[in-house]
Amino acid sequence: MNELAGKRALVTGGSRGIGAAIALALAERGADVAISYERAADRAQGIVEQIEVMGRQAIAIQADAADPEANRRLVDEAVRALGGLDILVNNAGAFRHGTIAELSLDDINTLLHVNIRGTVLTTQAAIPHLKSGGRVITIGSNIAERVPFTGGFTLYALTKSAHLAFTRGLARELGAANVTVNLVQPGPIETELNPAQGSNADLNRSLMALPRYGTTEELAGVVAFLAGPAASFVTGSVVTADGGFNA
């Protein structure tokens, strides 16, 4: 697998979980990779070292996705370190659980600033660097289109539903430059923050056609496909990888 040889990728929120798996999958296919992290410097450095073992260039950059200046600085530092940018994966995200009546202003701002504004500003900063064949891939959520729970996920789902319009509109804006824009909507994926034996796991499995949690590697494979040459005619698309949760 060397279909991404010579490509430079930035994966936001790449120090753990889904983001880390995406960064490693892109590197396995030949890309040099920059990742961002907020606090987990040691873990981010561990991902960098795994990528370097593959013979790829890698860098970890501290950036708070809620900070507008940090989003712009992140892209600038990644471009300087890698010598350019071909693939942007908007993976950084925030989650707050609570009904609309319960959520604090801080909760609301965090979700809006990280999940929506952070994605928009990072992409905005990346666009001037993306040449023909470039990729923008955003990691959303399957509950952007369906919220089958009694409460606590409404605002989070709202922020993820914004990715649908963002992806479709931006695909139109960047199509003439031959840059593709796509959205991946994961369902239940096993991570340390969403364990397959967690308190909501049985409920999630009961809603799925495939009654199991997905792996980060499975989701990373979807992203790697969209980043590669086989997906050159795929843009403005939504790929939902949720084990049939929304079937």
**Catalytic positions:** 156
Residue 73 tokens read as 């600085």
Three-state SS for 206-218 is HCCCCCCCECHHH
* Whole-angstrom distance, CA of residue 91 vs CA of residue 111: 14
What's the alpha-carbon Rg for the chain, to the nearest Å? 17
In terms of Cα–Cα distance, which of 145, 64, 160, 69 is closest to 115?
Answer: 160
Amino acid sitting at position 35: I
Is-contact 55 3, C-beta < 8 A? no
Cβ atoms < 10 Å from Cβ of 106: 9
* Whole-angstrom distance, CA of residue 209 vs CA of residue 198: 19
In terms of Cα–Cα distance, which of 191, 193, 241 is closest to 216?
Answer: 191
* Whole-angstrom distance, CA of residue 198 vs CA of residue 136: 32
In terms of Cα–Cα distance, which of 152, 128, 131, 168 is closest to 200?
Answer: 152
27-44 in b/e burial notation, b at 16+ Cβ within 10 A? bbbbbbbbbbbbebeebb
